A = this chain, B = another copy of it.
């Protein structure tokens, strides 16, 4: 494996000169530039990134922690991050938090050990204080899940108002006995969507029955199981709002297994608008999040942080959209594909 020294020797110059032509900084004569370039070619020299990183003290790679790589919602956000990162010459490391079953110190260490330059957290299920402290010294941005009263840069949608919007839509369809399958109550996402749900109900003076609120874990299975419970309630709900699309699909399938028709017998809505939401039968009415844009914006923010620029604005809430499809019995025109 040739090093910069070998190149220097081969080109009859000093290592400094080689480094200069490599990084296109400083001034090197035309003749030497050519010599160095030839030597690089002749030896098939590839600069060792480690040497450079140690000296320059940054790795040009960032870490993103995602609750579950398997979840299509997050892979879209990831794609946005990835795209933006590559544009700026950064590489992206991914860490799967496995729904917070991981040791969050691992990702913090990577930051502190200079293994990565920055961090994008797609989950906030970590030690709040540690995260906040770390944010003072390092480049960290929070996406999707913001942290209550945080100083960290954040990009997400307004989950409360989105959930309220969804519930109001259901109310507008004249459903009043509405259930909500929540996300995990230790996530801001779960809590906020529940909050929006309640707000809409209370605004219409519909009372919120505690039996109609059941905690899920964002998985298809939990949607299926909880729907089972809901359906066996004495006062069976007419509509159920699931806190994400996966749970909604589980719920629909539970209803089908129960011999019920969706939306004929019971309406179901989701949240996130993952790709499958429109492929599913019935097509899911849901909240569409600008996933790619969330990713892009997060990386953009991180990039500013990395460059020590002062952020004029650090909290970004992006637009979500209620997309109405079939699962609530109100079919708007929509191409099937």
Contacts and interface: CB of A to CB of B under 8 A. Distances in A.
Given A54-B50, A61-B93, A254-B337, A220 B275 contact: yes
A223 B110 CA distance: 42
A115 B336 CA distance: 45
Interface string A67-96: 001101001101100100000000111111
A69 B61 contact: no
Interface-central residue, A57, A59, A76, A91, by most chain B CB under 10 Å: A91
Contacts of A110: 49, 91
Contact of A69 (B54, B59, B82, B91): B82
A95 B91 CA distance: 8
The number of chain A residues touching the other chain, given as a range, is 35 or more
A203 to B, nearest CB: 34
Contacts of A94: 92-94
Interface in A40-80: 46-51, 53-54, 57, 59, 61, 69-70, 72, 75-76, 78-79
Interface of A: 46-51, 53-54, 57, 59, 61, 69-70, 72, 75-76, 78-79, 82, 91-96, 109-110, 112-115, 220-221, 224, 249-250, 253-254, 256-257, 275-276, 279-281, 336-337
